[in-house]
Amino acid sequence: MAREKDQKIERKATKQHGVLSREQAFKFGLKRGALLYRVKEGGWVEMYPNVYRLPGTASTWVQKLTGAALWAKFGYAFSHRCAAALWGFERYKTEVVELSTTRNLRCEPPPRVHRVLHLPDSDIKIVQQFRVTSVPRTLIDLAEEEDFEDVRACLNQALARRHTTLAELEDGFKGKRPGEPALRELVRKLKGGDGACESELEERVYALFERNGLPKPIRQEQHLVDGKLVRLDFHVPKTMLVIEAEGYAYHSGFDVFESDRRRGNSVTSDGYFVLRWTWDALTQRPDELVGHARRVIARGPRPEDLVKAAS
C-alpha cells in the first residue's frame, strides 16, 4: 500500500517537472507527519510555501515556474520579465520568476509578486501550459519598469511575430496603468511611419544610432538600382550611408547569401557606401561602428543628389 502511494506521488511529480504541493500529497494519502519526515530526512526541498521539489530532480526554470503556479493556485498570471521570456522576447532569457496577482501572496525567497487590483481573463493567455499575461498587458507592464530600448525591442518582436497589432494595443489602453504613456508613444511613432524593426539585430542597429546622436536612419527604404527596386535595411537621408544588418540566421543559405551580395554590389556601384554590421560587431565593437558611420555621413550626399535637390 505504501509502495503504491509512493508510485502515485512520483508519477504526479514527474508530470510536474519534479514538484508536488502539500495538497496533492495529502490527496494521495500522505499524512502530515510523513510529509515532515520526508522534508527532514527524505530529501524533499520546500521551494515555495507548501510546494516541494522531490529528490533526484534537476532545478530548472520550468520547474520553478511549475512550483510557483502550484503555490499561487488562482487569481494570478506570470507577468513582466517572466512573461516576456515565456513569449520569447529575445532580451528576456533570464530565469526570473515574476507574477501578478489580485491576492495578498507573500513568499521568501521570491518570486517577485506584483499586487494588482484587476487581472481580467482577457489579460491572461496560456503559454507553454502556464498562465501568462497577454502580450499587450506584458508590454504595458514592461514599459512601467524597463529601459525604453528593451520595451521597443519587445514591441517590434511582438508585431513581427504577429502576437499582437497596433490596433489591439490601442484597444488595451485604459489610461490607468503607469506603463501606458510610454507604450502609447511608441505605438504613435510606429503608426506615423516609423515602422517596426524586423529583427533584434535591426533593433540594435537603430538603438546604436539613437544612443550616439547619429541622424535617424530610414528602415527598409526602397531604391531603384539597376532597374530593380531593392530594400535597404537602413539608409541615412541626405547621405551616402547604407547599413546592412547581417546575422547568420538571416544569411545562412547560399541563394540568400548570393542575392544579398548582388544587391550590395548594385547599391555600392550606384554611389552609396554600404557598411555591413554583424551581431558580434554591434555587441563587442559599437564605438568602432559609430566611427565608421560618422566618417561616411561627414562626406555628405552624392553630387548627383545635390543637383537633383537644386533643380
Look at residue 270 in the predicted model and tell me its pLDDT.
66
Look at residue 172 in the predicted model and tell me its pLDDT.
83
Closest by CA to 225, choosing from 267, 192, 286, is 267
State the greatest distance between any 2 C-alpha atoms of the chain, in Å, as a whole number.
95
What does pLDDT average to in each consecutive run of 10 residues of the chain (311 residues)?
Answer: 81 94 94 92 91 92 96 96 96 92 86 92 95 96 94 93 91 85 88 75 91 90 75 89 74 45 57 87 92 92 54 43
> Residue 247 and residue 213: Cα distance in Å, rounded?
24
Look at residue 70 in the predicted model and tell me its pLDDT.
97
Look at residue 251 in the predicted model and tell me its pLDDT.
41
Look at residue 262 in the predicted model and tell me its pLDDT.
54
pTM higher than 0.85 for the full model? no
Look at residue 305 in the predicted model and tell me its pLDDT.
59
CA distance to 11, 101, 159, 206, per residue, from 264 (Å): 58, 52, 27, 20
> Residue 202 and residue 299: Cα distance in Å, rounded?
24
Look at residue 181 in the predicted model and tell me its pLDDT.
92
With 0-12 / 13-18 / 19 or more C-beta atoms within 10 angstroms meaning exposed / middle / buried, residue 308 is: exposed
Instruction: HSE, CB side, 13 Å, CA atoms: give it for residue 285.
Output: 10
Q: In what order do the strands lie in the sheet with 124-127?
A: 112-115, 98-101, 76-78, 130-133, 124-127
What are the structural domain ranges in the chain?
A: 2-55, 74-191, 204-310
Q: 221 and 173 in contact (C-beta within 8 Å)?
A: no
**254 grid coordinates:** 547560399
Look at residue 173 in the predicted model and tell me its pLDDT.
87
- Architecture of the structural domain at 204-310: 3-Layer(aba) Sandwich (3.40)
**Residues in a beta bridge with 242:** 235, 274
